[in-house]
Structure 1
């Protein structure tokens, strides 16, 4: 290369360095955050979703944005994750919003109300029917914002130490159940208990709990519920598709460069898809293993389902009458549900039920 051309190239490179480097540095700063999860490390899918999200963030930013994931108890307890984000103890948390209905009942809709939407419908409501705006308006009151970051799909009804055949069998039952599902069942005589996942097994073993629900076969198997309660019920009508969120401190979110906000939004969506697909892949296998180990499958009777639906609708009417934020979220969900269910019945439901009936023919 001729010296004149080399110097010309060097001059262009130097000029680019003086202009572009500061702009790049400004848009891609080195950032270190801490994330507290509501779930123990032993649950590799639901805790792993936070780890997967953190990995996506690092990969998409050439390791400039590092997020360290902590299990419950390492910084705060699993039920205090949003509190830690709100007060700035950590920058973000991976948690279900229904853990915080004591702050605001409308947050239950962020995870999904009993008898509301399945996983795909809830995700659609969030992005295309006002869910994100409604819930994050509420979150703003607590110095937080949230992004979708996981879904379990329809959950199981949990493990019971005795059979539940009638509505009367629910009376006095001490049941570990999260969110508004506990308030629904309380109308039927259940004594709901909101206990962090890691504390459920010993309570069930000691008999301070009569029943416990968590997610589904894969996680329930890991938590060992079958060892102390053999009746395994379906469906978990209180969580037809439980959505999880990355809860982010509002001030920390606002400080991020726009490109980092965009990357985080996409990384949470990717982690959301990873979690749902993983559960779909592993739940059936885990269920077969537990049945082989002695789990006795049961379904809630039509009478229990109808009584629970009636109680849920009564609760929603009561909450809507005294809480404007809940009413706004609930009315939005109901309008969306009424709009999509006829299509679902015509097509998605018809296809799924046909394939289930004919699955042995292949």
Structure 2
């Protein structure tokens, strides 16, 4: 090789080495570790494990460009401070349920669930095709958060009570754990409502700090062991007919992502939204059988008088939430329009079929 060829080859090799040296730090700098804080105990069935699945999906789908590390309630911040942690940049993501933030703005309730509101399929329909997501984006942006639906438990149970509830009078003076506007409705009926994160409920029920509680449904309630203290298990829950769990991302962090990574985060959350709902449907029936047959739980339906009281109080508190400001009013109007339209179809499709299936095949016997 002559001197000129050698110099040319060396220059090319040096350029390649230089490019490699520059590229490695650039790639490393492009990798991020996000903290996801949750309102649930870590690895708690359904809620905690669903949050973990979402975190793992983002990590895998970005090939590690965004590695999401999950922190259970209290590990990094207290459960009810998860939203603030993401809003102020302490964490990049939260997984929770947005009615916990009703003190910041009452419209957050609608993007989780409101009493006598939408079922899980109806809630998804409103968020995805009824204008709900756009209203949610507008509300959350004011706090520096980009929200996504990221789970649903389906219609919840009415709760655990030490003593039977036979009339509205039995509710007066009762100390009960219930969040959101469902709790506000109970206050109208004379209940002393106490807000507690999931991890604190059992101890409060055990100590007598509360007389009754709702949580989710048979699968989660069995795991928390409420049957050891209260044996009266009521249905249906008026307060959470289709609660959407949410993943909120710090808005600045989200806006800084590439369009590809934005789509990955969105679709990882949407995937968990469906997966969690399916898991609760799959697990609740078996858990209910265990509670009744193995743990002596008495399954009770709320008397018509009591449920009517729930419904009347619920309509009042939901309407009151709309008076907060223009955004609350627009959210309320959009939500109630969706409820009216979707209910007409739900009544003759899902509910109509389910009623006839149980009647003709006697599945409830």
TM-score (norm 2): 0.90
* In 2: Cα distance, 1:73 partner to 1:319 partner: 30
User: Is 1:256–2:257 an aligned residue pair?
Assistant: yes
Aligned twin of 2:210: 209
The CA deviation at 1:360 is 4.4
* In 1: Cα distance, 2:324 partner to 2:140 partner: 19
Aligned twin of 1:4: none
Aligned twin of 1:60: 61
SS of alignment partner, residue 315 of structure 2? helix
SS of alignment partner, residue 247 of structure 1? strand
Task: Give the one of 349, 352, 360 matched to 1:350.
Answer: 352
The CA deviation at 1:61 is 1.8
The CA deviation at 1:319 is 2.6
* In 1: Cα distance, 2:322 partner to 2:31 partner: 45
Alpha-carbon contact 1:175-1:190 (below 8 Å) kept: yes
* In 1: Cα distance, 2:194 partner to 2:98 partner: 17
The CA deviation at 1:154 is 0.4
Alpha-carbon contact 2:158-2:234 (below 8 Å) kept: yes
Aligned twin of 1:317: 319
Unaligned runs of 5+ in 1: 1-10
Superposed CA deviations along residues 64-110 of structure 1, whole A, max 9, x for unmatched, are 22100010111111111101111111001001000010110000001
The CA deviation at 1:272 is 1.1
Q: Please report the RMSD computed on the Cα atoms of aligned residues, expressed in angstroms.
A: 2.1
* In 2: Cα distance, 1:29 partner to 1:214 partner: 41
Aligned ranges for residues 158-169 of structure 1 at < 5 Å? 158-169=159-170
The CA deviation at 1:306 is 1.1
TM-score (norm 1): 0.91
* In 1: Cα distance, 2:89 partner to 2:321 partner: 30
Aligned twin of 1:78: 79
Aligned twin of 2:152: 151
* In 1: Cα distance, 2:358 partner to 2:335 partner: 28
Aligned twin of 2:45: 44
User: Is 1:187–2:158 an aligned residue pair?
Assistant: no
The CA deviation at 1:321 is 3.0
User: Is 1:198–2:195 an aligned residue pair?
Assistant: no
* In 2: Cα distance, 1:159 partner to 1:340 partner: 30
Tell me the number of residue pairs that the alignment of Structure 1 and Structure 2 aligns. Answer: 345
Change (3 A) 1:42 1:163: farther
Alpha-carbon contact 2:322-2:331 (below 8 Å) kept: no
Superposed CA deviations along residues 192-222 of structure 1, whole A, max 9, x for unmatched, are 1110111100110011100011111011011
* In 1: Cα distance, 2:43 partner to 2:222 partner: 11
The CA deviation at 1:190 is 0.6
* In 2: Cα distance, 1:98 partner to 1:218 partner: 22
User: Is 1:88–2:64 an aligned residue pair?
Assistant: no
* In 2: Cα distance, 1:94 partner to 1:319 partner: 24
The CA deviation at 1:347 is 2.1
The CA deviation at 1:42 is 5.0
Alpha-carbon contact 2:166-2:303 (below 8 Å) kept: yes
Aligned ranges for residues 1-362 of structure 1 at < 5 Å? 29-41=30-42, 43-292=44-293, 293-360=295-362
Alpha-carbon contact 1:125-1:131 (below 8 Å) kept: yes
Larger Rg: 2
The CA deviation at 1:166 is 0.4
* In 2: Cα distance, 1:321 partner to 1:54 partner: 37
Alpha-carbon contact 1:42-1:222 (below 8 Å) kept: no
